[in-house]
Structure 1
Amino acid sequence: MAPPTSRELAELAYATYGKSTGGRNYQGLPMPDWDELTAAIQLAWIEAAGAIALNTIASLTGATGTLEPSVGDIVLVPMNPADNNGATEGPAIITRVWSKTTVNVRVLADSHNIDWRTSLTHVDSLAAVDAAAAVWTWPGGDDD
């Protein structure tokens, strides 16, 4: 069984928050469903959940400083196999770090295509991710 993604953790956290507040937001108004949230609010929940997950992993493994992305780091992103010589993932170089879980990258496809992607969110695995998903993971993180 694959570990939950940052998005799945964010949705769980949002639902749990709603359950604990009787379905009310911080203003006391009814909370919208997850799918009704703006992309910016969803991203904020995803970043928060991703940061908690990364800190938990670091704490459990004793890792220190190895889980924070930096400009120039190589990460993996999902790829359309037609644009990547048949491969479903490809390397990318981080060009901008927004947070511990959100980065911009330049994709190094196994083709003539040059692809820039922005505001990608960290996931633990690319195994069940659509090729168009705005996500990234560390190399060696997938178990497939």
Structure 2
Amino acid sequence: MPPPTSRELAELAYDVYGKSTGGRNYQGLPMPDWDELTTAIQLAWIEAAGAIALNTIASLTGVSGTLEPSVGDVVLVPTDPADNNGATEAPAIITRVWSKTTINVRVLADSEATTWRTSLVYADSLAEAHGAAAVWTWPGGDD
């Protein structure tokens, strides 16, 4: 059985949070179902779960240095196939690190379309991102 993805961990955390508060958010209002959350809110929960997962893995393995993104690292991002010679992902160079899970990049598409993306959040795989453009993963993350 494969380990849970950051998205699965985020959904679990959101569900547990809801159960612990009687289904109420921090304002005391009823919590929507996960699927009713905006993409931005889902990505925030996914980022939090991803950070916890990365910190836990780092703590258990003692290899925290290899799990942190650095300026100049190559990552993968989803792309529009029309801008990338038919491919749905492209390499990107990290230009700014905000946290272990949030970065800015310069996308290196297989075309003349070279773009900047900001505040991308880590996803275990691009497939789990469900079409969101504001995500990144390490090469090999979709294996």
Gap change, CA 1:89 and 1:39, over 3 Å in 2: closer
Report if the CA contact (8 A) 1:96-1:105 is conserved. yes
| Range with greater deviation from structure 2 (7-16 or 22-31) | 22-31
Structure 1 moving runs of 4+ over 6 Å: none
Root-mean-square deviation (CA, aligned residues, Å) is 2.5
Q: Which residue of structure 2 aligns with residue 104 of structure 1?
A: 104
The AA in structure 2 aligned to 1:88 is: T
Match of 1:47, SS state, is: helix
Gap change, CA 1:87 and 1:40, over 3 Å in 2: closer
2-structure distance, mates of 1:100, 1:64: 10
TM-score scaled by structure 2?
A: 0.81
Extract unaligned runs of 5+ from structure 2.
none
More helix by share: 2
| Range with greater deviation from structure 2 (112-121 or 5-14) | 5-14
CA positional deviation for 1:90: 1.2
Q: Which residue of structure 2 aligns with residue 83 of structure 1?
A: 83
2-structure distance, mates of 1:84, 1:2: 30
Pairs within 5 Å for 1:40-79: 41-79=41-79
Q: Which residue of structure 2 aligns with residue 115 of structure 1?
A: 115
2-structure distance, mates of 1:27, 1:130: 29
Extract unaligned runs of 5+ from structure 1.
none
Q: Which residue of structure 1 aligns with residue 138 of structure 2?
A: 138
2-structure distance, mates of 1:123, 1:40: 14
Pairs within 5 Å for 1:25-36: 25-36=25-36
How many pairs were matched up? 143
The AA in structure 2 aligned to 1:73 is: D
TM-score scaled by structure 1?
A: 0.80
Gap change, CA 1:72 and 1:5, over 3 Å in 2: same
1-structure distance, mates of 2:131, 2:33: 26
Match of 1:65, SS state, is: helix
CA positional deviation for 1:128: 4.8
CA positional deviation for 1:120: 1.1
